[in-house]
Structure 1
């Protein structure tokens, strides 16, 4: 997956899956913009790792639930690099709340970040991509869009909407040589699993047909494919990266 001379913007890239995506795109040759919302230290650590590979990188603070901040971020990317070839919409909030405890504020934050922000980041970047003759937009969805569980009402709704939006935007942008696809991860080993004693990655892995939990690189490899010329005739698709979890009717009993 040769991404040499490409510029990638990855939202929510300071930690977790976003960090893994940013690093892998850099390994494939891209210069990377590391978007973050809260921790500059984490984002700068990713920037330093990318620069150590010989690639260019900057960190930009922006809350993608705000269209104004999205537009300012994209303007800064263009001012710095002169182009945007790849957008990865990864930023997300994941409230795990009982149905009767979902508040209007938490619902709005989830949909504004996970869905509205995804759309308007795509819109802002696509304007630049049209002038360049094309580009790639990859949305990070989730298995919760189609196979969910209790307490994920707002999150699952946002990711279901993201899948529909991916197909719609792909249709709108196809004539402009902009491919739009999504990657839907299953359970993935990120920082929060090590902070929560209930998230035992070994036990989670036992419930997955592949026999292990996913890693950020599993997701990042799929993103790199969609970001590369190898996917030029693929658009409007959602690729599930879950070790076979969604092939099951239910999670198997852990031995």
Structure 2
């Protein structure tokens, strides 16, 4: 594993207790950063902190990213605890259900939008001012190939992830003359607990589109996100990076 240059950086990772978020936190700590894990699952947060504490400075916050007041309070708490915030990775997300649009439950649609899209708006709105104070920041928003192509029977997820791409491009342009970079990454299927909420049929549909014929790993996406959060990622902003096993060829 190549060590990234994140020494002294302070990072907030949403959805940080499990899956991709946990893997990002591990990679960041190994590269010298301090991390704040945000998640709604207190038990998972406690386990994550125990596992990561030997690697460096870790703070945890129970945060529902769909609730702006909670996000704002957590951002203030992290800034005080770590001395600032320079990195934000928005990994919190839910899959929703796999069903035709005409049958899609209204409450599930709203829940997916509130976490996957509104949640990123909330965290960026609350944390960008801390980055502006020091005129340095790196924001990475986790989108999906579904946001670029649209997956059938996954309308809410696809739309929310397309919205993440639009938000990333907009904010990236807003902050382009500062030293804050805002980028998105569109993975194909990454093997995480989130797949527990996805049908085997849907997983098969997605895998069939991947020339490599396999899921990506959390270690593979962590390597790419880690670079995107480093100072070396200096001339890319409002960009969308693919991690698709060959699915994306455009």
**TM-score, length-normalised on structure 1?**
0.89
Gaps of 5+ in 1: 249-255
Alignment partner, residue 35 of structure 2: 32
* 1:164-221 CA-partner distances (Å, limit 9, x unpaired): 1100000111222110001111111112447878389899767632243100111111
Any conservation in 2 of the 1:170–1:235 contact (CA below 8 Å)?
A: yes
Match of 2:129 among 127, 132, 141: 127
Are the counterparts in 2 of residues 64 and 113 from structure 1 also a CA contact under 8 Å?
A: yes
1:80 and 2:84 aligned: no
1:5 aligns with 2:8: yes
Q: CA deviation at 1:132?
A: 1.2
Tell me whether 89-98 or 228-237 shows the greater mean CA deviation.
89-98
Partner in structure 2 of residue 228 of structure 1: 230
The answer for the alignment partner of 1:65 in structure 2 is 66
Distance 1:154 1:205 in 2: 20
| 2:49 alignment partner in structure 1 | 47
Paired position in structure 1 for 2:94: 93
C-alpha distance in structure 2 between counterparts of 1:36 and 1:108, whole Å = 19
**TM-fit CA distance, 1:11:** 0.2
> Displacement of 1:86 after TM fit?
0.2
Unaligned runs of 5+ in 2: none
Equivalent of residue 148 in structure 1, options 128, 132, 150? 150
Cα deviation for residue 222 of structure 1 reads 1.2
**Number of aligned residue pairs:** 246
Distance 1:216 1:199 in 2: 22
Which of 87, 105, 108 is equivalent to 2:107? Answer: 105
Aligned-pair CA distance for 1:57 = 0.2
* Equivalent residues of 1:166, 1:180 under 8 A apart: yes
Q: Distance in 2 between matches of 1:103 and 1:74?
A: 32
